Amino acid sequence: MKQLFITGTDTGVGKTFIARTLLDYIKCRDTSSIGFKPIASGCEETPEGLRNEDALALHAESTIQLDYNEVNPYAFKEAIAPHLAAQLAGQSLSVAAITDAYLSLKLKEPDLLLVEGAGGWRLPLGNGEFMSDFVQQQAMPVLLVVGMRLGCLNHARLTAEAIERDGLHIAGWVANQIDHDMPYKEENVATLKELIDAPYLGHLPLVSKPSEAWPYLDFTPLFRVE
């Protein structure tokens, strides 16, 4: 089984779209997969309970059918930092609880278990714990999504440094063009290639469907035997 954690240089940089694209890529190769979004804030009230748009997208793209609560065990209504949303809901977040949910999914034995973080790399869970602690404990390779906009060079370099200091391997990174008026796009990508010591998977322009992203991305480095 391949496990992979997807993180971004910030919130709103396209982690979910890249995750959906990778799950769609896997599905079309008759390979089993699960997309796991352990924590999501900004959820909507539905007759079935709180539902998050990103988690629903991963749920839909996964080949192994699961209950929504297995895909997204921590769902919060307020669109704020998850540890604050948890406090408002009278709940708490912990590495141990996320790990329990993750290990139950491993028992399903998917070919790919893709975990999407919330926000950036050092997301606080509260009580001195961070989402990155969970990734460290599981020794997961990391897929980094760089949101291409002004400031991305600093954010990308700092994120890559933090992942490497945590003793983890960056399996690949994607340049996702979220500011389409950004000047010197290609020059910024060239600089990022110098700043990030990891396989470059591609530069994604604005597309609406995962299948439309395939021509721009090369996921094969993610599945090389280490």
Tokens of 177: 């063009």
Q: Does 36 score more than 70 pLDDT?
A: yes
Mean pLDDT of 215-222: 94
pLDDT of residue 226: 53
pLDDT of residue 211: 87
Binned at pLDDT 50, 70 and 90, residue 30 comes out as confident
Residue 66's Cα: distance from chain center in Å? 19
Mean pLDDT of 195-200: 97
Percent over 70 (pLDDT), the chain: 99
| Residues across the chain | 226
pLDDT of residue 225: 58
Task: Dump strand ranges (E) for 26-139.
Answer: 33-36, 39-41, 44-46, 49-51, 74-76, 112-120, 124-126, 129-130
Residue position matching structure tokens 């599905």:
27
* Predicted confidence (pLDDT) per residue in 78-131, tens digit: 999 999 999 999 999 999 999 999 999 999 999 999 999 999 999 999 999 999
Helices 15-27 and 53-61 pack at an angle, to 10 degrees, of 10
* Predicted confidence (pLDDT) per residue in 44-91, tens digit: 999 999 999 999 999 999 999 899 999 999 999 999 999 999 999 999
Q: Which residues are catalytic?
A: 37
Go through the domains of the chain in sequence order and give each one's CATH number: 2-36+97-223 (3.40.50.300)
Q: Does 9 score more than 60 pLDDT?
A: yes
